[in-house]
Amino acid sequence: MNARITPELIIFDSDGVLVDSEVIALTVFARIAAEEGVAISVEDAVRCFRGVKMADCVREIERRLGRGVRDSFVADVRQATALAFEAELKPVDGIHAALAEINSPVCVASNGPMSKLTHALGLTKLLGHFEGRIFSAYEVGSWKPDPGLFLHAAQTMGAQPPACVVVEDSLSGARAARAAGMKVLGFAGGHPDAEQELVAICDGVFHRMSDLPSLLACPAGRA
């Protein structure tokens, strides 16, 4: 990443990058899965389902069950997650200050549905940074690791893919950014165990959101 070139667009994932939501959401998912008949620990849920689209999560639960889940399974997960967010959700530490230092245009591109994204960003007082610039895989019809969501966000925002920087915490998101021809910075602050897999694919990996503004200005994304 050339220090003399300001990125045309910085694309943020939401869960685990902007909002500290992944353990909350996957705790709920594990509980609903247990009600359905699949015992899975929160640790296993994080390892298996972090950054994975809901349909694929459900398919894995159905594979373990040997049958389909109840018709209301996804709706039950969504409703319980929304309630848990209202009680527990916080912004990722340092993200408000980091956004205040970033001068490039920013947007959000997430595998989650728009209702979940706006709810989470609103609860954490981040919505004002991204309102009107939030892209959901459900609206685009393309889920990470497919690059379509990131390419759509860049096109809508008038940015060329090679001039975009994606901030991701999951391997599927990093792969999507790479496939889109974008630079990608891996945030390992929430899941240090993910650092090794992120290092292998990202232009740089960081652990504190306060480091992001300077990292964006460093060659090859490294402070």
- What pLDDT is attached to residue 52? 86
Cβ-proximal residues to 4 (8 Å cutoff; 6+ apart), any chain: none
The two three-digit tokens of residue 29, written as one number: 């998912």
Q: What is the strand order of the sheet 9-12 is part of?
A: 134-136, 106-110, 9-12, 164-168, 183-187, 204-206
Q: Could you give phi then psi for residue 105, rounded to 5 degrees?
A: -60, 145
> Does this model's pTM top 0.85?
yes
- On whether the CB atoms of residues 193 and 200 are closer than 8 A, the answer is no
Question: Do β-strands 164-168 and 106-110 pair in parallel, antiparallel, or remain unpaired?
Answer: unpaired
Confidence of residue 218 (pLDDT cuts 50, 70, 90): low
pLDDT tens profile 103-161: 999 999 999 999 999 999 999 999 999 999 999 999 999 999 999 999 999 999 999 99
pLDDT tens profile 19-60: 999 899 999 999 999 999 999 999 999 888 988 889 999 999
Distance CA 39, CA 65 (A): 10
Domains defined for the chain, CATH in brackets: 9-20+90-221 (3.40.50.1000), 22-88 (1.10.150.240)
Tell me the three-class secondary structure of 126-184, residue by residue. Answer: CHHHHCCCEEEHHHHCCCCCCCHHHHHHHHHHCCCHHHEEEEECCHHHHHHHHHCCCEE
- What pLDDT is attached to residue 192? 65
Average pLDDT, the chain: 92
Distance CA 14, CA 126 (A): 10
